[in-house]
Amino acid sequence: MVYQPPSIVMSQSVAILVDGNNIEISLHQQTGDEGVMLNFDKLIPKLVDNRSLNRLIYFREGRQISSKLAERLHQHFHGSVHPCHKSADIPLSIKATQLASKVDTIIIMSGDSDYIDLVRHLKSDGVRVEIAAVEKTTSSLLKEAADYFHAIQPEDWFSLSSQKKPRNPARFQDKEKK
């Protein structure tokens, strides 16, 4: 008789906290295209990976946050958008510490080294901490501090620039002649 170990069901609750400004700047630096945006429809399921999504919060500096983005995150992931007075660092850190007792894993979408102390704190509370960011613009110390690093790849973003109608070149030729 061959011993068969009992099957183990992994049940993890995940919160994803997005530093929108950091991710946008990283994508723009990586691509040289200011019209590049994350494709949350592809990226979020990849990050969650058979776990349970408890929260998705997108933090962004300023009041001008796309209502389409807010609506899409809410409809598809019951996510929310949180405008920040200045940088997202403090509001994201506060929310992460509030969620630490409610989730098993927190995924921070940012490559900013400002989050190193937050990662260490969350881990000391027994929370698994993962970082999702553009590898080229992510602090190596942040990657080392985290339990896991998800590199955001080209298939995880799209460009609005390529979707816009081409400009009328004749309009610019007239200006050059003057």
74 touches 98 (CB < 8 A): no
Given a cut of 50, is residue 111 above it in pLDDT? yes
At residue 22, the pLDDT reads 94
pLDDT tens track for 74-96 = 888 888 888 888 889 999 999 99
58 touches 69 (CB < 8 A): yes
pTM over 0.85: no
Given a cut of 50, is residue 174 above it in pLDDT? no
Cβ atoms < 10 Å from Cβ of 84:
19
At residue 167, the pLDDT reads 41
Angstrom distances, CA of residue 31 to CA of 38, 110, 159, 160, 176: 12, 17, 9, 12, 29
Structural domains in the chain plus CATH codes: 13-177 (3.40.50.1010)
With cut-offs at 50, 70 and 90, classify the pLDDT of residue 68: confident
Q: Which of residues 2 and 47 earns the better pLDDT score?
A: 47
Q: Of 27-31, 46-50, 73-77, 144-148, which gets the smallest average pLDDT?
A: 73-77
Given a cut of 50, is residue 139 above it in pLDDT? yes
In the block, residue with structure tokens 């509370």 = 125
At residue 160, the pLDDT reads 84
Angle between the N-to-C axes of helices 40-48 and 67-77, in degrees from 0 to 180, rounded to the nearest 10: 40
Q: Which sign does the torsion angle of CA 66, 71, 28, 134 carry?
A: positive
